[in-house]
Amino acid sequence: MLLVFILMHNLCPGAPGLSFTFDPLCAKAYHRIMALKLQEGNIAINTAARNRPDNFIPYYLADYADCLELLFNGDIRQLEPMRARAEKRLDMLEAADDSSPWYRYSQAGIYFHWALVYMRFGDNFKAATRFRKSFLLLKENLKKYPAFEENNVLLGLEMASAGAIPASHQWLASLMGIKGDIQKGVSLLAQYSARHEEGSTMLYEEAFIFEAYLRFYLLSQQDAAWKSVLKRTGDTKDNLMYTFVRANLALNFRKADHALNTLTIAERNEGFARFPIFLYEKAEALLLRTDKSSEDYYLSFLKNYKGKPFVKDAYLKLSWQAILSGRKSEAQAFLMLLKGAGNTLTDADKQAQRFAEKPVWPALPLLETRLLIDGGYYQQALRTIQQLDYNSLTQLPDQIEYYFRYGRILEELNEPDKAIAQYTTTIQLGQKQSYYFAARAALQQGFIYERSGRKDAAAERYKFCLSLRDHDMQNSIDQMAKAGLNRLQR
């Protein structure tokens, strides 16, 4: 990286036009970066920049590498020097060949990288302004070069992301000149992926990853997204990005065993330890099996991770494992550590902070049931909750959660009508509480109605879900409900 930085200073904005060429060294650097082999990628970038100092692509890839480092490891100490390098790269682009479609795309890419970074570090204003600049550059590029299909990779992602902005913030999107469309955005990515194969284009990997995530989270096409990821990622042992994607989606698709197997294989990769987020993911997979060894991975994550997101959540999960093991004093100690650690940028961390401030421990069978459901162990979860006497639950949160968890089990075991009834009781008991159970129950009812083709009923449930305010997991639940309404409008 030092050589790249020095070369950037030698290329002042007044230099003759920079070109945009994905030569073999740049291709090598890109594929290393997309595999999260950042050191190898930076070596290739340095060589490419030395061999062709008039080519901007190595500098664009260097920005990609910087931002992946910040996004995965979250070290605030790296933010300012990497931001300064990004500004230098944008200055360099003033001397680039503006007749190339890569001219605006490179700028848009850098602005988008930094929109993600600023969002990661909690500076939403800077994130929004960078996103707007990126979006408008891509729209302009589309008008000038409609045949430049690489433009659709970022444009598709940004268009879909803007389409998921909650209704309460649509005024801001309009003010910024951003009009989103989830379906159209995903369609642009799908068209690009369908026309290319791995290795045939520089942007293939990110295009299919973006498409998979959008299908999974915004279109509620979890099964299709999961099958696509399994097919396209193949052997993950030498590709940590593919490892992360598969493990992350597996955890969110209630396939804890698959996540655990993927991460165990990747653990032998020498680059695994460079990214503590993998320790967090493995801890999650183990916890969902109620495996006590999850504690070791959460503690290792907290020791090695330099960022702030997910830290409160890790402490909360440590308290869960402790309470399940009968160590209540240790569970309380973890909650005390939680209060002064990390931040509350993610919904999971917000929920952890709320719990730490007013801890009300759930009945242990309910906590175990929750973990088993999230891990995909439905029959075991059913046996656990059936052994629980509802009349023994004296706390209102436990009573609400009981019906919600039972509904989740029945839904996953293909008993939709019975699940809806459990969700209805959940809503009746919990819609005026700050717990997320009622909102999530309404959301799940919407999913069930949508899958069965009852669009009006689904829309009513999504709208009702959005009407519930000031509850845990507000942002993520609202986003899913908004995405559901967007799907139904097609």
pLDDT value, residue 475? 84
Cα–Cα distances (Å) from 32 to 79, 214, 242, 271, 430, in that order, read 22, 24, 12, 12, 49
Cα–Cα distances (Å) from 26 to 46, 48, 60, 206, 398, in that order, read 10, 6, 10, 16, 56
- Distance, in Å, from the CA atom of 3 to the CA atom of 42, rounded to the nearest integer, reads 10
pLDDT value, residue 12? 39
How many Cα neighbours within 13 Å face the side chain of 21? 13
The answer to whether residue 86 sits within a structural domain is: no
The answer to whether residue 396 sits within a structural domain is: yes
pLDDT value, residue 290? 92
- Distance, in Å, from the CA atom of 150 to the CA atom of 191, rounded to the nearest integer, reads 11
Q: What is the largest CA-CA distance in the chain?
A: 79
- Distance, in Å, from the CA atom of 375 to the CA atom of 223, rounded to the nearest integer, reads 16
The answer to whether residue 478 sits within a structural domain is: yes
Q: Which of 25, 73, 30 is nearest to 49 (CA)?
A: 25
Q: Which residues contact 124 (CB under 8 A, 6 or more apart)?
A: 118
Structure tokens at 177: 């000149």
Does residue 8 contact residue 59 with C-beta atoms inside 8 Å?
Answer: yes
Q: What are phi and psi of 344, to 5 degrees?
A: -120, 45
Tokens 């509850």 correspond to what residue?
471
Cα–Cα distances (Å) from 147 to 101, 122, 152, in that order, read 10, 36, 10
Range of the domain at 431: 367-490
Q: Which residues contact 97 (CB under 8 A, 6 or more apart)?
A: 17, 18, 19, 20, 103
Does residue 261 contact residue 250 with C-beta atoms inside 8 Å?
Answer: no
pLDDT value, residue 216? 93
DSSP conformation class of 169 = G
Split into its structural domains, the chain has a count of 1
Does residue 413 contact residue 384 with C-beta atoms inside 8 Å?
Answer: no
pLDDT value, residue 173? 60
Q: Which of 169, 166, 134, 170 is nearest to 153 (CA)?
A: 134
* CA angle at 377 for the pair 376 and 378, rounded to the nearest 5°: 95
Structure tokens at 17: 């036009």
Number of residues that this document lists for the chain = 490
Structure tokens at 331: 């569970």
Does residue 45 contact residue 29 with C-beta atoms inside 8 Å?
Answer: yes
The answer to whether residue 401 sits within a structural domain is: yes
Q: What are phi and psi of 334, to 5 degrees?
A: -65, -40
The answer to whether residue 306 sits within a structural domain is: no
- CATH code at position 408: 1.25.40.10
- Distance, in Å, from the CA atom of 194 to the CA atom of 159, rounded to the nearest integer, reads 19
Does residue 108 contact residue 137 with C-beta atoms inside 8 Å?
Answer: yes
pLDDT value, residue 5? 34
Does residue 287 contact residue 294 with C-beta atoms inside 8 Å?
Answer: yes
The answer to whether residue 412 sits within a structural domain is: yes
Task: Report, in this order, helix, strand and coil percent for the chain, each rounded to 5.
Answer: 75, 0, 25
Structure tokens at 102: 């890569």
The answer to whether residue 321 sits within a structural domain is: no
Q: Which residues contact 199 (CB under 8 A, 6 or more apart)?
A: none
The answer to whether residue 374 sits within a structural domain is: yes
3-class SS of residue 305? coil
| Per-residue tens of pLDDT for the chain, all 490 residues | 333 333 333 343 334 468 999 999 999 999 999 999 999 999 999 999 999 999 999 999 999 999 999 999 999 999 999 999 999 999 999 889 899 999 999 999 999 999 999 999 999 899 999 999 999 999 999 999 999 999 999 999 999 998 877 655 554 566 566 778 888 999 999 999 888 877 667 888 899 999 999 999 888 899 999 999 999 887 777 899 999 999 999 999 999 999 999 999 999 988 999 999 999 999 999 999 999 999 999 999 999 999 999 999 999 999 999 999 999 999 999 999 999 999 999 989 999 999 999 998 889 999 999 999 999 999 999 999 999 999 999 999 999 999 999 999 999 999 999 999 999 999 999 999 999 999 999 999 999 999 999 999 999 999 999 999 999 888 889 988 988 998 887 6
pLDDT value, residue 285? 98
Radius of gyration of the chain (CA): 24
